[in-house]
Amino acid sequence: MEEHKTLLALFEDLDPTAAAIERLRKLGIPDDQMNVISGIPVTEAMLGRPRQWSNVPRLALGGSLGGFLVGAFLAFGAPLLYPIHVGGQALIPIPPSIVVLFELTMLGMLVSTFIGVFLDSYFPSYRPKEYLPEISDGKIGILFQCPQQKQAQIVLALKKLGAESVAPAEARQL
């Protein structure tokens, strides 16, 4: 079994970073062993990486369905369980029922989305993280694992593509 080393390459701009990711792929580093660290929001499409899938939309849909069911119970079930006839009005008034359905559907979606994002981001994390202070200054880092035999070849290729530094990553407390 070959031993892997974790390296952190630091770049000034997006274009050399995207070229470096493509070069790492050609050198045999799979996408699941690469992580882009940036102080600015960078989408997968900007760097030519595969789209990351999340369970948050499914959780939001489930939460909205749950909220709709709770709203339907409050709007239609409660008046049927405890009927109060008030002078010629309908037992289940439609306009207030629509408001209750809408509000509880949105509340269910909001709560489940918040919980989904919270869980999907593995927050809070108490483990040490790989980080460089230069990333907060606008630079972009690629954290990747490579076989120890290919380390010199990969470092040379990344330096040719414009990497400011390629060094072993150290885990530190933030």
pLDDT of residue 2: 66
34-38 vs 165-168, strand pairing mode:
unpaired
CB crowding 72-111: b at 16 or more within 10 Å, else e: eeebeeeeeeeeeeeeeeeeeeeeebeebbeebbebbbeb
Handedness of CA 32, 38, 41, 46 (dihedral sign): negative
pLDDT of residue 75: 95
pLDDT of residue 151: 86
Residue 73 token pair: 């119970």
Q: What is the CATH number of the domain that holds 159?
A: 3.30.70.120
Nearest to 11 by CA among 171, 165, 170: 165
The count of domains in the chain is: 2
Q: Are residues 12 and 98 in the same domain?
A: no
Q: What is the pTM of this model?
A: 0.64
- Contact (Cβ atoms closer than 8 angstroms) between residue 63 and residue 109: yes
Count the helix, strand and coil residues of the chain and give each as a percent rounded to the nearest 5. 50, 15, 30
Residue type, 116: G
Q: What is the mean pLDDT of each run of 10 residues along the chain (174 residues)?
A: 80 88 89 84 77 88 97 94 88 92 98 91 69 78 87 89 83 58
- Structural domain including 28 reads 4-52+128-172
Q: Are residues 91 and 106 in the same domain?
A: yes
Q: Are residues 115 and 136 in the same domain?
A: no
Q: Are residues 30 and 77 in the same domain?
A: no
Q: How far is CA 132 from CA 13, 49, 117, 148, in A?
A: 16, 22, 25, 22
